[in-house]
Structure 1
Amino acid sequence: MKNLTLLAMPLLMTLAPNVHAAEVQLAVAANFAVPMQKIVAAFEQSTGHKVLLSSGATGKFYAQISQGAPFEVLLAADDETPRRLVQDGKAVAASQFTYAQGRLALWSAKQGVVDNAGAVLKTASFKHLAIANPKVAPYGVAATEAMIAMGVYSSMLPKLVQGESIAQAYQFVSTGNAELGFVALSQVYEHGRMRSGSGWVVPAQLHTPIKQDAVLLVRGRDNPAASALLGYLKTDAARAVMASYGYVH
């Protein structure tokens, strides 16, 4: 009997990390969806917790959370939305922190369309320019600010095609429905270079910094998986993934 007990111990030790595994409902800004999928995979493997990930426009998430959506953690594309949720009593104040700072890019799916200074915006060589809806998407706000700073906003208005999120703005460009557009750098960049097409990383001084904050929502206050996920975002492993997609800290 003693031998059987000893034989069973390695199996029990293997299962032990998963005994307290839990599930967390995560809302993540569309620009951060792809990096977060990689981070989630590593998080799940190392902790045994499971993440149910939904991506979309930050403004849409604010409305859904305000109306009772069952999210437990929000990774926003700005710092204002988490702050508003704290003020509304929907999020835990002490939990808010900046997990990354995003970068904006002007991008075309075709080679040679976007130059390395954004001068294409001062030409008449294209019909459609995609941006995320600035009413719900912080990257849309940044795109608008950049165009104003460059003195091209008025001339671009007839060409603008708005997506409800940065993911939809990217889709418009990637499918050719818009010749170029303002997208999140992370959508077209990996390991130090553009993955395809032609692009220009918009200088950070042309728009308000895109500080992306995370916050624990009230629904996740007693969920160990929610707290663990927020903690994991601060690890070197998670930050290495973010850096590979062009995010800075």
Structure 2
Amino acid sequence: MLASRFLHPILAVGLLLITPSLRAETVLVAVASDFTRPMTEIAATFEKITHHTAKLAFGSSGKAFAQIKSGAPFEVYLSASEKYPLELEKSGFAIADSHFIYAIGKLVLWSAIPGYVDNEGKILTTGGFKHIALADSSHAPYGVVAEEVMKNLGVLDKLRPLFVMGENIAQTFQFVNTGNADLGFVGLAQVIDINNGKLGSGSGWIIPDNLHGPFRQMAVLLKTGAKNPAALALVDFLKSPTARSIIEKYGFGLPE
């Protein structure tokens, strides 16, 4: 009778080994397109460490915002701006005061053609190109920043007829990478070589911060994820030194 009160040693060890998988959960995450490369690596590392799985859906911040308000089952939202997460908190779709800055965005004027874009961006004023790509500013924060840069340089109205609008920053990159646009405004994370911190191909000009306002990218815990251990764990993990190291590797600035 006494023996029945205790687990066999081999069985006990087996239960310890499978316990993490029994507790593992899945979190559905809406992620801004510019954060595709770092978030893919972060999600893989997160799963190895916590055994939770993060299912990622990439797209424009504005489209994800609209989907969340329409009932999409996302549990954590990583936006390329501060505007949308704060609005979700205000309207009751996100947990109050759960927002935090996870990265500082970096914009690049880039061409797939080596030597085409000078390192001061003078091509924007000298011209000579047929099309320039940027993300649609009506729902993509990178498009908003790109237009702000051109306005501050005094070339926005001049270049507007040459615009090729991407649905998001991922499509914008494809327009330039395939030659459908001669050059365009893309995220540094899309073109950086993480082994040396330089552009991996083509030519480009990293836009100075003084040509646009603060480019803070914000995340928020949605109410649908409030009781999901995986969602709570991911929010914590995004603030960890491990995640911050990955974020910085892809060219993003880090919040203090």
**Is residue 162 of structure 1 aligned with residue 181 of structure 2?**
no
Which of 16, 33, 53 aligns to 1:13? It is 16
Match for residue 227 of structure 2? 222
Is the 1:18–1:47 contact (alpha carbons within 8 Å) kept by the matching residues of 2? no
Aligned to 1:175: 178
Contact conserved, 1:31 with 1:167, CA < 8 A, in 2?
yes
The CA deviation string for residues 31-73 of structure 1, in whole angstroms up to 9 with x for no partner, is 0011100000000111111111100000101111111111111
Q: How many Å separate the matches in 2 of 1:189 and 1:11?
A: 44
1:241 paired to 2:225: no
Supply the distance in 2 between the matched residues of 1:246 and 1:190 (Cα, whole angstroms): 9
In the other structure, the counterpart of 1:40 is 43
Q: Which position in structure 2 is the counterpart of 1:206?
A: 211
Quote the Cα distance in structure 2 between the aligned partners of 1:140 and 1:189: 19
> Is residue 67 of structure 2 the alignment partner of residue 58 of structure 1?
no
* Paired amino acid for 2:17: T
1:28 paired with 2:5, answer no
Question: Structure 2, unaligned stretches of length 5 or more?
Answer: none
Q: Distance in 1 between matches of 2:182 and 2:230?
A: 42
Measured in 1, the distance between the counterparts of 2:215 and 2:199 equals 20
For residues 71-90 of structure 1, the C-alpha deviation after alignment (integer angstroms, 9 at most, x for no partner) is: 11100000110000011110
Unaligned ranges ≥5, structure 1: none
Distance 2:96 2:124 in 1: 41
Shift of 1:147: 0.4
CA apart distance, 1:103: 0.6
**In the alignment, structure 1 residue 139 sits paired with structure 2 residue 142:** yes
- Residue identity matched to 1:186: A
The alpha-carbon deviation at position 93 of structure 1 amounts to 1.6
The one-letter amino acid paired with 2:150 is: M
| Count of residues paired in the alignment | 249
Percentage of pairs with the same residue: 48
Q: Counterpart amino acid of 2:226?
A: R
> Which residue of 1 is the match for residue 188 of structure 2?
185
* Displacement after TM superposition at 1:9 (Å): 3.2
- The 8 Å contact of residues 190 and 244 in structure 1, kept in 2 or not, is answered as no
Deviations 1:110-159 (A, max 9, x none): 10001100001112321000000011001000000000111111111111
Q: Distance in 1 between matches of 2:206 and 2:13?
A: 52
Calculate the TM-score normalised by the size of structure 2.
0.94
- The residue that corresponds to 2:52 in the other structure is 49
